[in-house]
Structure 1
Amino acid sequence: MLKCLRPLNSPTSLSPLQQRLYNTFWYVNVLALLALVPYLIIDLFIAPYLWAFHALASVLLLCSQVLLHQGYLKVSQLMSLLTSLGIVTLAFLAFGGDSGMEYYYFPIMVAAAASSVWPIWRRIVLTAVIATLTLILMLPSFYAPWLTLEPNILLSVRFYNMAMASTMLIFIMFRARTLMELLGRDADIDPLTHTLNRRAFFLAARRLQRRRQRFALLLLDLDHFKSINDRFGHDVGDQALIHVAALMKQHTRRHRDALGRYGGEEFVLMLQGASKEHALRISQALCATIAETPFTYRGHTLAMTVSIGVSLSDESSDLDTVLSLADQRLYQAKSAGRNRAIM
């Protein structure tokens, strides 16, 4: 049971994005449990039956953690949501509208609307139901509480509810934004080499062209790569691509240059603001670095080389033409003996 009070470590069945989603839900559950603590203390003195209800709610939230760690995310989410709604509604009726319990509905609505495991229609319906319940409970007819609290206690409870609900809301919104950024970044990244994928790379290149910013385009192809796959298998070939991508990243300027996987064993590098001399110098440095850094994996040591075709954005206003020029020069480098750059 205690293992379920920690975020998931790294189950092999989950992608990195799913891992972060599970951990986010774990933190939301922990915040909900923390919100119960002061009420468990208060209820001991003023309402033992509410204490029993809140204790039961704590057990249900802990059970949702167990389900979460067993992989039942949807069931766990539903149990946590219904438990939280029940806690808030009962506490609202017990302490009255002046207790500020309705504040808890706002983070619950955000969590329901931002859920990524439910269909959108279900999220819309659930959010609408919670919003309607909030409006009903805020009507004057519900202001008569079951229990009467002293004004100073009621005021402290209200401030606590405002602070706790605001913290939960800010946390959920921050985590949702982070997850969306991760999702967008994952859609732009080649999963093997962690460079830009082809679509993301050319979006960046076209953006520079629209801004009329100068750049050099390097099209790189690993020499005799097919023989590596044929001799040692695709697993070794994949590791060789990762090795070469890491070496190429050493020659890029962060936030300015863009490195992408064009397809197979081909990469494309965009050097923003590069002159002809700078582009040629980087190309030659790449050839030298890759040739001088053998790839070692599972007892295999392989010498690798790369051929590069270089073109400049000054040569054409059409990106496809710039790419075509780089491609032609790449094949010239191959025909001239490989392990070289041609501009």
Structure 2
Amino acid sequence: MAPAFRLSLKAKVSDSMSHLMVDFSRERSQLKSLSFLPVPGTPVIDLSQCLVADNCVTVVWSVPGEDAKIEHFDLEYRRTDQEGAPRGREEHPWMVVEGIRGSEYTLRGQRFDTRFMTFRVKACNKAVAGEFSEPVTLETRAFVFKLDSGSSHQNLRVEGLSVEWDSTGGKVLEMKKEMKTRPASPLNSPARSAMMMSPKRTPMARGSRDRFTAESYTVLADTALDCGQHYWEVRFDKDSKAFAAGLALRSLGKFDQLGKTSASWCLHLNNWLQTSFTAKHNNKARSLEGPVPDRLGVHCSYEEGLLSFYNAHTKQLLHTFKTKFTQPVVPAFMVWNGSFSVQTGLQVPSAIKCLQKRNSGTSSSTASLT
């Protein structure tokens, strides 16, 4: 109001200049017509009403006392592996959701790659924001793994969680490295080098003895399962000549193909010569009916010995293996002339939990494959 006072106040003085008079009557009426917005109260997050499910987090809060002047709320959250108050510099920054009209908010489609998420919220009106609530930490544990590129078949190019068939198999690059380290001699001439790199010649470089080889175009995850329930999804190229996804023991031989030994269970898509979509284990196969989805959901319940495959879009059950896991198992994948990508950090969907509970106690339809 200071500019208004400076423009409107007009001082009056007495004839003898002994008194200075200022009339505040108009300014007083203006001040009385003003309404000042209070600082909003501090919200309180209701931990009992918060929900973590299906890779979504719903946060619910309230503000003590009625405060109709609140215009919106701002929610902040960050990922963490520490439960409770931070004990040092956090690796992940605060993320902000502004302008929430209501006392709850749901974060959807999250990837849970840390054990917890911390939340805090503040109320705002048109003039000012209040204090943040006390932070609340919610557990968001999910199954996270990477692909073990060190043991993958040499014809598979692994980049993060994506895999693509590579007919060269990195052999040309390994030959170039080998030739760079050789001393100069007539045997290492450019002409001879070109002959050595010709596709008609047997490649000189080979993978390590632990790498899958021959026709076992396989890559395993780097994290084993030995308890609990876990879920992950695989998106694959349906035009691949061959593709498989499932579980395997770490003892799976480097020449073994998924589903052809007792150490692996998988769904297998074959587009070579004729198209087939089968469940395979111990060299036994069962044909699956219906269209082939482009994304599979894989669910493992270790203690129950269940390995189930779903259409990741509709959560329709495709097949279930019922067995008894006596050793830790790892996610396993195979591709020939194609590609696929894996999505981890996913919780077991509620639809799958409900279906599993509904089917508990029923006999397995895959007894011949266990």
TM range, smaller chain: under 0.3
The structure richer in strand per residue is 2
Bigger-Rg structure (1/2) = 2
- Looking at both structures, which has the greater relative contact order when contacts are Cα pairs under 8 Å and sequence separation is at least 6? 2
Q: What's the TM-score once normalised by structure 1's chain length?
A: 0.22
